[in-house]
Structure 1
Amino acid sequence: MHDNLVHAEAGPAAATTAERPDRGPFRWKGVLLGGAVIWVLMLAALLLTHNVALLPAIAIIGAGTVPLSVVLRNGERRAGTGLTLDDLFYAFLIGGTVGILLGGVFDAEVERLLGSGGALLLAGFVEEAAKAVALIWVARRVAARSMRAGIYLGAAVGAGFATFETTFYAMRGLLTGSTANVLRDLPGVVGAVVGTEVFRAVLSPFMHITWTAILGGVLFAATRNGRFRLTPAVVGTYVLVAVLHGLWDGAVPAAAQAAAKAVDSAYRTLHHPRGDWSAAQSHVQAEASLASFGVLLGGYLVVIATGLLVLRAMTRHARAVEEAERSAAAGRAAYRGGLT
């Protein structure tokens, strides 16, 4: 369904232009499939040739294919928002870069002051604020200020941020050690990269993209005369997405670990029990792992569902507002036509 805004006052030529399907030069499904195919081919080439120069390209393509596809999908549905594809690409590249820059700096400062535990606890508040600043920076060049424009532009900033962050996680294991060490355990390296990128690619639409889209929609809806305002709704939404982010990063994994240790006090993250291995220990360890997985899965599903429900409600509200504005404009045009 396209949200083409047709002004009744305009002539037939303008109406025909507005009603034309608003599609970008790319189809998001083709980009998604093509990116996945290229990624797999690069992995195969790496394993066959042992050319580690392919690893950065593998990390970037694997990290960016799904987020970019989401941006293109929104681009095909942007009619009526006043946004262009250039706006969304700009938000993806520049907004994502500014967001990851600010997030990286302030995450490091928080960790320096409060330690790794404090940094993990406050990561949601730090990174969501960084993305909000990046979104406002990007929005300076965009005249559109509707809720749906904010949702799509925020999603693009979140997609750029997610791409850079996933690239880091995929490459993290390669940041230490020599090329010889990488080649010695190349299957293990490839397995770690694949596991990280597949996991984060599948979940990326429900994490940074959703959270920044929610905040962007409320932030844009709160503008007056083109100026952003720090309203109670904006502050409350920021706290909501920061809490969802914090639950994902820290609280849910911590709860999963606590559940596992409640079953087996010797349980550790690497799933190696302390003491001598025995059948009894193996059984307890399996139960602990199952408890950990259950809490982890349940917690993540709650975070995902909450974000999606909020975003869906916002999108429906935004479309309803746009429809009401179209109806009001048509009514005014009909009234003026009747007077003449």
Structure 2
Amino acid sequence: MDRTTLGADGPAASPARPRRRWLRMFGVGFALWLATVVITFITGNPNLIPTLVLLGSFLVPVTFVAWAFDRRDTGELTSDLVFSTFVTGGVLGVLAASVLESYLLRPSGWLFGGVGLIEEAVKLAALALLTRHLAHKSIRDGMVLGATVGFGFAALESAGYAFTALFTANGLSVVQLVQTELLRGLLAPVGHGLWTAILGGVLFAPSTREHFRVGLRLLLAYLGVSVLHALWDSMHSIALRLTLLLTNGESYQRTSNGYLVEPSAAQARLLPLLEWAGLAVVSAVGIVWLLLEWRSGRRRDSTPAGLRVPTGTQPA
């Protein structure tokens, strides 16, 4: 693929430096979000809360989709397709996950594992459904579209968490809403978008126009990202257990959601350190995996057609 700048719906006529639309988009969006936060605190106007929730929840996911869109392989990935995949894939994903989790999961030590398996499955299914008719399925385009579905899911999920954080025992708390949006915005790039981007690349690798080929490699990738997802969700519980182990079982009380009541000084230092270190490790594994898939896409798509292994005989 040559290094020409891609337009909204295809390659441009002449090469140019990559446009940083995503950076301008983030700058303008972040300024609008900050203005909304300040004016909400100043005026106390509850009508601004939906604006605050939507801007804060969608800003980072939309920015990363725009960044990924500029790195697509073919002109088949139009802005209309990416937009519909973001919205439709995200909505289908959260609806299907909500139904399946409500009926299939019960509180247990395996809860987070079940959440990972269900959410990665519904995002993968939504991606396959919405992109099944693409004439050319390159690995990199699959990763871009996978990230798009994942970020759509993440944006809607973050909006739900932000809205829920608003309600406290002492009434509405805009502070908690803002804190939730800041935290989830910071972590969004190494969450749903990353995991589904990996699955998208694996799904598109051996596929044809007629149908997607589901094989062992896709199954292993699905199980792998589900494990990363489960580890991410359960990292607080893992860090808590390690903290108690490393502090020699100092006396403690725990709330129903796993937080310590009046922890010792050592526990207060160790627990967040272990939790963030664990999240960093999970993120690093996902990023390295993503980069390897991206590079494999470059090698595969640059191989002359006559030298490629026939699709039907490729390892799954």
**Letter aligned with residue 272 of structure 1:** V
Which secondary structure state, in structure 2, belongs to the residue aligned with residue 213 of structure 1?
A: helix
Which secondary structure state, in structure 2, belongs to the residue aligned with residue 53 of structure 1?
A: helix
Query: How many residues align structurally?
Result: 296
| Cα shift at 1:203 | 1.2
How many angstroms apart in 1 are the aligned matches of 2:99 and 2:108? 14
Aligned to 2:277: 298
Aligned to 1:334: none
Aligned to 1:259: 242
Q: Given the alignment of the two structures, is residue 102 of structure 1 paired with residue 96 of structure 2, yes or no? A: yes
Aligned to 1:216: 200
Q: Quick one: which of 272, 283, 294 aligns to 1:315?
A: 294
How many angstroms apart in 2 are the aligned matches of 1:327 and 1:54? 59
Q: Which residues of structure 2 form unaligned runs of 5+?
A: 6-10, 308-316
**Letter aligned with residue 74 of structure 1:** A
Flag the 1:81–1:244 CA change in 2: closer, same or farther, 3 A: farther
Report the identity percentage: 32
Aligned to 1:63: 57
Which secondary structure state, in structure 2, belongs to the residue aligned with residue 56 of structure 1?
A: helix
Flag the 1:116–1:63 CA change in 2: closer, same or farther, 3 A: farther
Q: TM-score, normalised by structure 1?
A: 0.80
Aligned to 1:148: 140
C-alpha contact (below 8 Å) 2:73/2:141 kept by paired residues: no
Q: Given the alignment of the two structures, is residue 93 of structure 1 paired with residue 87 of structure 2, yes or no? A: yes
Worse overlay, 30-39 or 263-272: 263-272
Flag the 1:3–1:100 CA change in 2: closer, same or farther, 3 A: farther
C-alpha contact (below 8 Å) 2:136/2:209 kept by paired residues: no
**Letter aligned with residue 136 of structure 1:** A
Flag the 1:181–1:315 CA change in 2: closer, same or farther, 3 A: same
**Letter aligned with residue 35 of structure 1:** G
Q: TM-score, normalised by structure 2?
A: 0.85
| Cα shift at 1:326 | 8.7
Q: Which has the higher helix share?
A: 1
C-alpha contact (below 8 Å) 1:260/1:289 kept by paired residues: no
| Cα shift at 1:81 | 6.1
Aligned to 2:160: 168
Two-structure CA RMSD over aligned residues (Å): 2.6
Aligned to 2:226: 242
Q: Quick one: which of 36, 44, 68 aligns to 1:50?
A: 44
| Cα shift at 1:261 | 2.5
How many angstroms apart in 1 are the aligned matches of 2:304 and 2:143? 18
Q: Which residues of structure 1 form unaligned runs of 5+?
A: 6-15, 183-188, 274-283, 329-340
| Cα shift at 1:313 | 0.8
Aligned to 2:303: 324
Worse overlay, 139-148 or 160-169: 139-148
